[in-house]
C-alpha cells in the first residue's frame, strides 16, 4: 500500500485512552508511513494555516488551530447541531442555519488548503466522518488526483429525512469526488443509493457496489468497524482491571450489576433506558434488590443546548427513581458523569452481569463489542442491544430490543437476569468469534485494500458550492 494521509476532525494519536480506531489508524501509518491531519482542539485569534507537527509512537501528526467563529459554526453548529441530529433521525433537534453551513464549508476549505502541501503524488488519502463530507471535492478543486476514500462512522439517514437538509443534493453530489465511500452496514449503504437514484437521477450497479452520477463513479463498501479484541481481552485481565473488578463486585454486595457506558448524548437512549429500568422495578418487585444499574455517562458538547437538556433530564429521572425505590441498604441507579480509562472500564464490564447498549440510533457502537471482549469465558454476562445500533447486524445473539419500548427493555432485563449459564456461554461464544474475526484491523484492511484497487483515471468532478451568505469572517 502507498503512503497514507488520514484526515479527521480531531487527531487521536497516542495516550492510554486511545480507542481501537485510533490504534488501527496509527498501526497503518506506522506500517505505510504518512501523516494524520486534523484539528488540534485549540483556538487561535486568526487562522493562518500554521501546522503543528508532532511525532508520537513513530506516527507523524499535523494539527491546526481554529478561530472561535470556525468552532462555533463548523463544529458546534453544522456538525453537531445540524448533521449529527439529522443523521441520527432527530430532525426535531436539527438546526438549519446558513451561517452554520457557511462555516462548515469554510473550515473544510481551510483543511484542504492546509493539508494540500503534505500530500505527495503516490499517497492515498482517507477522510473520516461527517465533519468532512465535502473535503474530497475541495481537494479535487485544488488539483489532487490521488485516490481519496471516505468512511462514514454514523448512520446514513433515509432519503426523506435527508431532504430536510437545505444543502442535501449539493452535499451528496460532492461525495462523488471520492473514489470509495464506506459505511458500517448494508442498510446505511442502501439508504445512500436510494438518495442517489431517486433525488439525483444517478444509477446504481446491479450488485450495489458502485454509484454513478454524470461522468463520475463512486465505489461503495459496507465494512463494520471493530475493536482490537485481543488487546481488550488482555486489558480485562490486567492488574488495574482486576482491581476495578473486585471493587465493583464488592460494592454490589452480591447483587447483579447492569452497566451502561455512553457519551452523554440524546442518540444513546439513556432517558428511555432509565424508563425501561423503572418499568422493570415496578413489574418485578421480587427482583428489585437483586440488581443495580450503573450508568457511566461522561458529558460531551456542553456548548450545545440540547446536550445541556439531556443532562438535566437524566439527573431528574435518576433522582426520581432512586427516591421512589431506594432502601436503607440499596440504591437502584448509580449515575456517574465522568470518564474512566479503558483498563478500568474493562474491569467494570467483566464485573457486570448485563451490558446495556440501547441507543435510539447508532452507526456502530463499539461498547457492545468491548463488553463481549471483556467477559470471563467461564461466566460471561449478557448483552442487551438496540436493534437500531449498527452492531445489531453482527451481534444477533444479543438480546435485541426496541429501545423506545419500556416494556421490551423491562422484559429483556428479566430475561438476562434469569438466563442459565449454558445459554449465556453459547451466545457469548458466537459473538466473541465474530468480534475477533472482524476486528479493527480487519476493517482497516478491508477498506484500504478496496481503496488501493480504485483507479485514478476518472475525470475530476464538477464542484458545487454550498451557501456561504453571511458566514465568512474577514481576516
Mark whether 88 is an active-site residue.
no
In a domain, 63, yes or no: yes
Does one domain contain both 242 and 187?
A: no
| Predicted confidence (pLDDT) per residue in 420-464, tens digit | 999 999 999 999 999 999 999 999 999 999 999 997 444 444 444
Structure confidence at residue 256 (pLDDT)? 96
In a domain, 97, yes or no: yes
Residues of the chain scoring pLDDT < 50: 15-17, 456-475
Does one domain contain both 307 and 199?
A: no
In a domain, 136, yes or no: yes
Return all residues near 254 (Cβ < 8 A) that are at least 6 apart: none
Mark whether 343 is an active-site residue.
no
Structure confidence at residue 288 (pLDDT)? 87
Could you tell me the end-to-end alpha-carbon distance of the chain, in angstroms, rounded to an integer?
A: 40
Alpha-carbon span 371 to 227, nearest angstrom: 11
Does one domain contain both 195 and 306?
A: no
CATH code for the domain in which residue 48 is found: 3.40.50.2000
Does one domain contain both 211 and 260?
A: no
Alpha-carbon span 69 to 100, nearest angstrom: 10
Does one domain contain both 241 and 195?
A: no
Does one domain contain both 181 and 77?
A: yes
| Predicted confidence (pLDDT) per residue in 365-381, tens digit | 999 999 999 999 999 99
In a domain, 469, yes or no: no
Does one domain contain both 398 and 294?
A: yes
In a domain, 139, yes or no: yes
Does one domain contain both 169 and 246?
A: no
CA-closest candidate to residue 471, choices 123, 101, 220, 183: 101
Does one domain contain both 240 and 217?
A: no
pTM of the model: 0.92
Q: Give the phi and the psi of residue 130 in degrees, each rounded to 5.
A: -65, -15
In a domain, 457, yes or no: no
Percentage with pLDDT > 90 across the chain = 84
In a domain, 330, yes or no: yes
- On average, the pLDDT of the chain sits at 92
Does one domain contain both 329 and 357?
A: yes
Say how many domains are in the chain: 2
List the domain range (segments joined by +) for residue 114: 4-226+441-452
Asked if 416 and 354 touch (Cβ cutoff 8 Å), the reply is yes
Does one domain contain both 118 and 39?
A: yes
In a domain, 467, yes or no: no
Does one domain contain both 183 and 278?
A: no
Asked if 398 and 431 touch (Cβ cutoff 8 Å), the reply is yes
Of the listed 129, 262, 362, 439, which one is catalytic? Answer: 362
Structure confidence at residue 396 (pLDDT)? 98
Of the listed 65, 153, 265, 434, which one is catalytic? Answer: 153
Sheet containing 52-56: give its strands across. 52-56, 59-66, 34-43, 4-10, 124-128, 147-151, 180-183, 216-222, 210-213, 203-204
Amino acid at each position: 500500500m502507498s503512503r497514507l494521509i488520514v484526515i479527521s476532525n480531531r487527531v487521536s494519536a497516542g495516550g492510554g485512552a486511545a480507542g481501537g480506531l485510533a490504534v488501527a489508524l496509527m498501526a497503518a501509518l506506522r506500517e505505510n508511513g504518512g501523516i494524520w491531519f486534523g484539528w488540534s482542539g485549540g483556538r487561535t485569534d486568526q487562522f493562518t494555516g500554521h501546522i503543528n507537527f508532532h511525532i508520537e509512537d513513530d506516527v507523524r501528526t499535523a494539527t491546526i488551530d481554529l478561530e472561535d467563529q470556525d468552532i462555533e459554526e463548523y463544529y458546534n453548529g453544522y456538525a453537531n447541531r445540524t448533521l449529527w441530529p439529522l443523521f441520527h433521525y432527530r430532525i426535531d433537534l436539527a438546526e438549519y442555519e446558513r451561517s452554520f453551513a457557511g462555516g462548515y464549508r469554510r473550515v473544510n476549505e481551510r483543511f484542504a488548503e492546509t493539508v494540500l502541501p503534505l500530500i505527495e503524488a503516490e499517497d492515498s488519502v482517507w477522510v473520516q466522518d461527517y465533519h468532512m463530507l465535502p473535503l474530497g471535492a475541495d481537494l479535487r478543486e485544488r488539483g489532487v488526483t490521488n485516490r481519496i476514500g471516505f468512511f462514514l462512522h454514523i448512520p446514513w439517514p433515509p432519503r426523506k429525512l435527508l431532504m430536510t437538509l437545505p444543502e442535501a443534493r449539493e452535499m451528496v453530489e460532492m461525495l462523488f469526488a471520492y473514489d470509495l465511500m464506506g459505511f458500517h452496514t448494508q442498510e446505511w449503504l442502501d439508504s445512500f443509493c436510494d438518495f442517489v437514484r431517486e433525488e439525483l437521477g444517478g444509477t446504481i450497479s446491479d450488485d450495489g457496489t458502485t454509484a454513478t452520477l454524470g461522468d463520475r463513479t463512486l465505489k461503495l463498501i459496507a465494512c463494520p468497524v471493530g475493536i482490537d479484541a485481543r488487546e481488550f481481552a488482555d486489558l480485562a485481565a490486567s492488574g488495574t482491571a482486576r482491581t476495578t473488578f473486585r471493587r465493583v463486585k464488592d460494592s454490589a454486595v452480591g447483587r447483579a450489576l447492569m452497566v451502561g457506558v455512553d457519551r452523554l448524548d440524546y442518540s444513546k437512549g439513556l432517558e428511555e433506558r432509565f424508563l425501561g429500568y423503572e418499568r422493570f422495578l415496578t413489574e418485578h418487585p421480587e427482583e428489585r434488590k437483586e440488581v443495580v444499574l450503573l450508568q457511566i455517562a461522561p458529558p460531551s458538547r456542553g456548548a450545545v443546548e440540547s446536550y445541556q437538556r439531556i443532562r438535566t433530564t437524566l439527573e431528574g429521572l435518576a433522582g426520581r427513581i432512586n427516591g421512589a425505590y431506594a432502601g436503607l441498604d440499596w440504591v437502584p441507579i448509580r449515575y456517574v458523569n465522568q470518564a474512566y480509562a479503558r483498563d478500568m472500564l474493562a474491569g467494570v464490564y467483566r464485573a457486570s452481569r448485563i451490558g446495556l447498549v440501547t441507543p435510539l440510533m447508532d452507526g456502530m457502537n463499539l461498547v457492545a463489542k468491548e463488553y463481549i471482549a471483556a467477559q470471563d469465558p467461564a461466566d460471561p454476562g449478557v448483552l442487551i442491544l438496540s436493534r437500531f445500533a449498527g452492531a445489531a447486524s453482527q451481534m444477533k445473539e444479543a438480546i435485541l430490543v426496541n429501545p423506545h419500548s419500556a416494556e421490551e427493555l423491562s422484559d429483556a432485563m428479566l430475561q438476562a437476569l434469569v438466563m442459565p449459564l449454558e445459554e449465556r456461554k453459547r451466545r457469548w461464544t458466537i459473538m466473541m468469534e465474530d468480534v475477533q474475526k472482524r476486528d479493527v484491523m480487519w476493517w482497516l484492511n478491508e477498506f484500504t485494500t478496496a481503496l488501493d484497487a480504485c483507479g485514478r483515471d476518472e475525470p475530476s468532478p464538477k464542484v458545487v458550492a454550498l451557501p456561504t451568505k453571511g458566514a465568512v469572517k474577514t481576516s
